């Protein structure tokens, strides 16, 4: 309790959403007072947030200059054990990507001495459905993970355990089983072969649930392509004769620098660039503990504060647009600290 009070006393704006320009507000925070910064600044000339704040500069260089000045303040506010996550998307200028995220990351490391330990790729399974004839639809964005020292907090095992639980639930849960069952029914397998395929599927699901295998894939004759080449000959024969084959994956999953989650439309108001709660959850789970302080200088509709509160972390949120502040406050007020979620992530 005494610790709680001292945190509250020493950090202005703790558990508050403050309307204003973060380049000014950040100066009110003491040195080394927050455990993590998780944020998504406005992208270069990408969206209109009511004509306010960063992102409307006339050149990429000017944008980077302003953003790095704000980043420098973030670095000052973060503890030696802390992490800084910046998610920034790119922009086409005269038909070419401006590389703004990477120019920023380069300037940020050069100017502040932070270490860039990962460029995590956020993969969006549901990108904006645009039909370009001469290029591919962009469906990823980088999230830069910077640290101030080698002493940064990192909860890899917790993260792996969480990933394993999620993976098992997703892969072994009804979803994947149901999909394969439907495919078995739709196939031209004989009734006996279908029965054998169902049994083999149930067995593979049970093996994942018991943790004996990491995952599996099923191939069904006439539905999936045949295995290539000679080395898969056994499987190919099984597929042709029995009508199905199951490929088991035994290796423990590596935690890769990829987070796959869909863009979610905001239910509250119309903030144009809400990032997914899951993204923030993953980053906080990896680098923070209950009671830590999380800062978002570009809070938007409040996602970082919502997730921080739910996970039992403190938050500090700055947002220049008054109507987005209102949305953020409403979202945060509706959030409860969820003990079950904490059990799961901590």
Ligand X SMILES: C[S@@+](CC[C@H](N)C(=O)[O-])C[C@H]1O[C@@H](n2cnc3c(N)ncnc32)[C@H](O)[C@@H]1O
Chain residues that interact with ligand X, rule: CB under 6 A: 21-23, 40-42, 49, 52-54, 271, 273-275, 298, 300-301, 303, 318-321, 324
Q: Could you tell me the smallest distance in angstroms from the CB atom of residue 143 to ligand X? A: 11
> Residue 3 corresponds to which tokens in the numbers above?
């610790």
Q: How far is the CB of 268 from ligand X (least distance, A)?
A: 10
Select from 122, 13, 114, 119 the least CA-distant residue to 68: 114
Residue 298: CB minimum distance to ligand X, A: 3
CB of 307 to ligand X, least distance (A): 10
What phi and psi values does residue 290 have, to the nearest 5 degrees?
A: -55, 135
Q: Give the residue with the Cβ less far from ligand X, 215 or 287.
A: 287
Phi and psi at residue 31, to the nearest 5°: -65, 145
Nearer Cβ to ligand X, position 152 or 324?
324
Instruction: Kindly tell me which of 145 and 194 has the beta carbon lying closer to ligand X.
Output: 145
Q: How far is the CB of 61 from ligand X (least distance, A)?
A: 18
Of the pair 42, 101, the CB lying nearest ligand X is at 42
Helices (H), ranges, the chain:
2-10, 22-25, 60-77, 100-112, 156-172, 174-186, 191-209, 233-242, 277-287, 303-310, 322-334, 339-345
Q: How far is CA 132 from CA 45, 49, 122, 137, 138, in A?
A: 20, 26, 21, 7, 10
Residue nearer to ligand X on the CB measure, 275 or 315: 275
- In whole angstroms, give the CA distance from residue 193 to residue 224: 16
Find where tokens 């591919």 sit.
136
- Give whichever of 213 and 332 is closer to ligand X, judged by the CB atom: 332
3-state SS, residue 37: strand
Residue closer to ligand X (CB basis): 324 or 345: 324
At its nearest, how many Å lie between ligand X and the CB of residue 232?
A: 45
Burial of 46 (0-12, 13-18, 19+ CB in 10 A): middle
Residue 63 or 180 having the CB closest to ligand X: 63
Nearest residue to ligand X, by Cβ distance, number only: 53
Directed axis angle between helix 322-334 and helix 303-310, to 10°? 20
- Residue 170 Cβ vs ligand X, minimum distance, rounded to whole Å: 24
The residue (of 15 and 21) whose beta carbon lies closer to ligand X is 21
Q: Which two tokens stand for residue 139?
A: 């469906």
Smallest distance from the beta carbon of 320 to ligand X, in angstroms? 4
Residue keyed to tokens 């640290």:
147
* Least distance CB 159 / ligand X (angstroms): 21
- Contacting residues for 188 by C-beta, under 8 A, at least 6 apart: 221, 222
Q: Residues 310, 284: contact at Cβ < 8 Å? A: no
Is the Cα dihedral 211, 212, 213, 218 positive or negative? negative
């Amino acid at each position: 309790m005494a610790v709680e009070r001292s945190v509250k006393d020493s950090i202005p704006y703790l558990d508050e959403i403050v309307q204003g320009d973060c380049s000014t507000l950040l100066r009110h925070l003491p040195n080394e007072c927050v455990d993590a910064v998780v944020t998504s600044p406005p992208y270069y000339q990408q969206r209109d947030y009511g004509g306010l704040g960063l992102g409307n500069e006339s050149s990429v260089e000017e944008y980077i200059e302003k953003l790095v000045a704000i980043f420098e303040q973030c670095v000052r506010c973060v503890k030696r054990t802390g992490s800084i996550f910046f998610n920034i998307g790119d922009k086409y200028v005269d038909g070419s990507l401006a590389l703004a995220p990477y120019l920023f990351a380069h300037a940020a490391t050069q100017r502040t001495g932070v270490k860039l330990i990962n460029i995590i790729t956020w993969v969006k399974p549901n990108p904006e459905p645009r039909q370009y004839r001469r290029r591919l639809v962009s469906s990823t964005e980088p999230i830069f993970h910077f640290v101030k020292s080698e002493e940064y907090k990192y909860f890899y095992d917790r993260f792996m355990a969480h990933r394993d639980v999620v993976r098992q639930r997703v892969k072994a849960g009804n979803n994947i089983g149901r999909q394969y069952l439907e495919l078995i029914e739709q196939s031209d397998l004989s009734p006996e072969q279908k029965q054998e395929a169902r049994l083999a599927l149930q067995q593979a699901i049970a093996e994942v649930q018991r943790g004996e295998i990491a995952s599996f894939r099923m191939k069904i004759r006439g539905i999936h392509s045949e295995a290539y080449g000679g080395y898969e000959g056994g499987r190919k024969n099984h597929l042709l004769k029995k009508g199905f084959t199951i490929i088991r994956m035994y290796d423990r999953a590596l935690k890769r620098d990829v987070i796959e989650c869909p863009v979610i439309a905001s239910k509250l108001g119309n903030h144009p660039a809400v990032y997914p709660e899951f993204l923030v959850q993953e980053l906080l789970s990896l680098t923070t503990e209950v009671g830590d302080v999380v800062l978002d200088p570009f809070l938007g509709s409040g996602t970082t504060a919502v997730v921080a509160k739910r996970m039992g972390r403190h938050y500090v949120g700055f947002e220049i647009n008054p109507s987005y502040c209102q949305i953020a406050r409403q979202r945060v007020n509706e959030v409860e600290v969820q003990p079950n979620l904490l059990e799961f992530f901590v």
